Amino acid sequence: MLDGTVSLSRLIELYVFYSINTVKVMNYCGEQLSILHHTQYHSESILFNSEKNQEVAYDVFVSHASEDKEDFVRDFVKCLQQHGLKVWYDEFTLRVGDSLRRSIDNGLKNSRYGIVVLSEAFFSKEWPQRELDGLFAREVNGEKVILPIWHKISKNEVLKFSPIIADMLALNTSSFTIEEIAKEISDRVLN
């Protein structure tokens, strides 16, 4: 074809050639985007997990009323430590001059779990309830962090305080010894 025209068969041939190559290029680009997306997701996941692991300083945070230290909490915390847990507990963690709020916030956000020792005294105190609010905020984000212990109270009393907590499986100090509760919790946390 010397006159500058292209035959129909040549046009079809060029169309097919470019169509096939366009599909190949699009498939290649799609594969590369998929690989890039997977790599980015995997990298972000590794970064998130490494940051999360670096931030966790304690296995458990113990939220309680000061009235329950003498007959349960202090010995319970010692048992947890004997089972190998790193425990945020006010008597062992706070120092003279520390900011109470900042220290508690730090303990709440840097603990894997929050043990909540529910009692009549707990229900009447402001600070333990704030700690519980902080733990619930973490649960709203999908984490299961609250480990409740009922200390000298019944399910009905817990139900009056919080139906959500009453629905959680709890350990009861009237049914288990301090050692049994510490072992059950350490098994949960360490496994």
Active-site residue 67, yes or no?
no
* Strand blocks (E) in 24-177: 58-63, 87-88, 111-118, 146-150, 171-172
186 or 11, which is more confident:
186
Residue 87 to residue 80: CA distance in whole angstroms:
7
**Per-residue pLDDT tens for 165-179?**
999 999 999 999 999
**Residue extents of the structural domains in the chain:** 7-55, 56-190
pTM for the whole structure: 0.69
Burial 93-130 (b: 16+ CB within 10 A, else e): beeeeeeeeeebebbbeebbbbbbbbbebbbebebbbe
The fold for domain 56-190 equals Rossmann fold (3.40.50)
Which phi and psi angles does 116 have, rounded to 5°?
Answer: -115, 110
Q: What is the pLDDT of residues 47-96, one digit of tens each?
A: 444 444 445 799 999 999 999 999 999 999 999 999 999 998 887 665 66
Q: Which entry of 70, 131, 180, 184 is annotated as an active-site residue?
A: 131
